[in-house]
Amino acid sequence: MTTELGSGDADFGFLVPVSDSPTLDETVEYAAREAREVAAETDEHVDLFLVAPITPDGPPGVTDRDDVDHLLERAAAVATETLEMTDPEGSVDVRTTMPELARYPPNPVEYVDAIVAVADEREIETVIVDPDHRMPVETPIGRSIETELRDIRGFDLEMAPVERPARQGRLVTRGGLAQFLSVAGLSFGFYLVLGGFGDVMFDLVTGSVTALLVAGVLSRITFEQTPQPTRVVTTAWRWLLYVPYLLWKIVTANVQIAYVVLHPSLPIDPTMERFEAGVWGGTATTTLANSITLTPGTLTVDVRNREFVVHSLTSGSREDLLDGGLERAVRFVFYGRSAMRYPSPRERLAVNTEANTSDGGTETGTGTGTGNAAAGGDDGTAGESS
């Protein structure tokens, strides 16, 4: 029997995070058998929860609600079929839910938190993880849903003992060919620009050889996602809008810093700001960090996941930084217009400070200085999907 989350009560519960993986069916079958064994041994009712967090208002490339709903229906059908053969008394109920992530862009911590929230709400003690589970968010190297869940105590974490399909890499794949050709084309064009066209034939030959060598070595590590023509054109158009905006921010910041330097009293107020940036992924994070550094008055000192440490020279540069203009522009380039609604660093710091205060903690700052913001900083990370 399949029901929605929240109906009925059970004495025991199992939870399975659901994703579109080649071992999903085997994992669900294993979880259903485990739930049935517990029900038979204890003579108690057991719930089997199938959970798939959903990202609201995501751009193309993010799994949408219909896809997740279809995936849950498939998993529930597998569990129900397994239980029909082993659980004729119906002592195990299959329940499905799609908890919504609170914000976009998503990140692994928020994705796992949504799953843990379901487990806490239903007092589930056992989480069974698909060994090939694929979080629909960008994750740092070496981080998986198992790794994130193991950092959280309060329930038993079990890896489903199913065989992962062998992944045999091919010399040329559809995605690999697109990356190879993209890197080769960019390298060839860059070589020709620098060559000066002194000897056209020489430049064409050496440029082709150089481009092929560069693409062969770097094509698999250059792009975070497989290049697609529509995405490349869209991103290129957004970059054409972003570059003039960045130049304008650099010019205005230069004027402000020149005023401060020429002022007799030298009204500087240097501080170190620590905040969680609203971007995810290597390219977007690097773009934001470099854009902040290129803008006079601010300097990116350190970046760890999404946590930025930025030196600001004046109160004006600090206000611009926390207002999040550059951050919104970078989100527009990589995630689209819908991502611009994401709260600014100032708004996020205010929410964190308010949450810490409401939990009974001591408010340690206003969110505008390094020492203050560091005490209430958020260690979470976020995901990019573009």
- pLDDT, tens only, 256-286: 999 999 988 888 889 998 888 888 777 888 8
Q: Say if CB 126 and CB 155 are below 8 A apart.
A: yes
- pLDDT, tens only, 3-43: 444 444 556 789 999 888 888 899 999 998 888 888 888 88
Q: Which residue bears the tokens 């029909």?
A: 84
Distance between CA atoms of residues 150 and 156, nearest Å: 9
Q: Where are the domains of the chain?
A: 6-159, 174-222, 229-375
- pLDDT, tens only, 73-122: 999 999 888 888 766 566 888 999 888 876 665 667 778 888 888 888 88
Kindly report which listed range (190-194, 299-303, 358-362) carries the lowest average pLDDT score.
358-362
CA dist list (Å): 27 to 7, 320, 344, 357, 385? 24, 49, 40, 42, 26
Q: Say if CB 50 and CB 68 are below 8 A apart.
A: no
Q: What is the mean pLDDT of the chain?
A: 77
Report which secondary-structure segment, H or E, holds 81: helix 65-86
pLDDT of residue 301: 92
Please name which of 125, 101, 110 lies closest in space to residue 42, comparing C-alpha atoms.
125
Report which secondary-structure segment, H or E, holds 157: strand 156-159
pTM over 0.75: no
pLDDT of residue 50: 92
- pLDDT, tens only, 154-181: 667 888 887 766 555 444 444 577 778 8
Q: Is it the case that residue 254 has pLDDT exceeding 90?
A: yes
Query: What amino acid occupies position 229?
Result: P
- According to CATH, what is the number of the domain 6-159? 3.40.50.620
Question: What band does 244 get if pLDDT is binned at 50, 70 and 90?
Answer: very high
Distance between CA atoms of residues 383 and 28, nearest Å: 26
Q: Say if CB 378 and CB 103 are below 8 A apart.
A: no
Distance between CA atoms of residues 307 and 300, nearest Å: 11
In this structure, the number of other CB atoms found within 10 A of the CB of residue 7 comes to 9
Give the residue, 101 or 57, on which the prediction is more confident: 101
Q: Say if CB 103 and CB 110 are below 8 A apart.
A: yes
